[in-house]
Amino acid sequence: MAVFSRITLLAGTAARCVHAMNRRGLAMANPTATFKTTKGEFKVELFQDQLPITTSNFKDLATSGFYDGLTFHRVIKGFMCQFGCPNSANPQSPIAGTGGPPGNTQYTLPDGSVIQRDGGGNIPDELVGEISNEVGTISMANTGAPNSGGSQFFLNTKHNAFLDYFDNSTPSKHPVFGKVVDGMDVVSAIEGVPTDGRDKPIDAVRVESITIAE
């Protein structure tokens, strides 16, 4: 996966929008993800009701411990904080920002159907629901090629409307799959850390764990 400076990200086919239902056929509340970081905790609502493929990919990786111990490898004040590369476990790694999940692995959607990641660990594009890249939203990163999102995502710290897949001002297409609902001050603290010339935090900000609540 390319670093964020190259992401004209996620273009491709739209996917099904599956609403999570309980046994009575009523819509259920979206799950949340609580990030425990070295700067504090913040909580994200995952828009599972609108983007089940993307949120289920994230939940599968989070519950497996994939994200535990990784660092924010790219932070740009007034723009975004990027996370999710397995190579960032070593914050000094020169290839942080290029990795993703294991290839040819599977995960399950709320409706019971199974999605298989491709050989590079990438998932299908899910360009559904016109949710803008507003402050506090969490959005998929990719290489710019269709169906190239994997484990990496970013937290918007500015309204980056030009990254919306439905904004035609640029080729960038980043589907938003959640939003911070608590602890935005922690996200702001992460955004404010000193960085080097490659936008890498000088003192690593590590995610210790992500806890999913359904």
pLDDT per residue over 111-152, tens digit each? 999 999 999 999 999 999 899 999 999 999 999 899 999 999
Contacting residues for 24 by C-beta, under 8 A, at least 6 apart: none
Are 173 and 37 within 8 A, CB to CB?
A: no
pLDDT, tens only, 51-61: 999 999 999 99
For the chain, which ranges sit under pLDDT 50?
1-24
Pairwise CA distance, residues 37 & 44, whole Å: 13
What's residue 35's pLDDT? 98
Are 187 and 136 within 8 A, CB to CB?
A: yes
What amino acid positions are annotated as catalytic residues? 74, 79, 82, 142, 154, 163, 174
Strand ranges for 13-84 from DSSP E: 32-37, 40-46, 74-76, 80-83
Pairwise CA distance, residues 122 & 116, whole Å: 9
Domains of the chain: 4-13+29-165+180-189 (2.40.100.10)
C-alpha triplet 142, 105, 139: angle, nearest 5°? 30
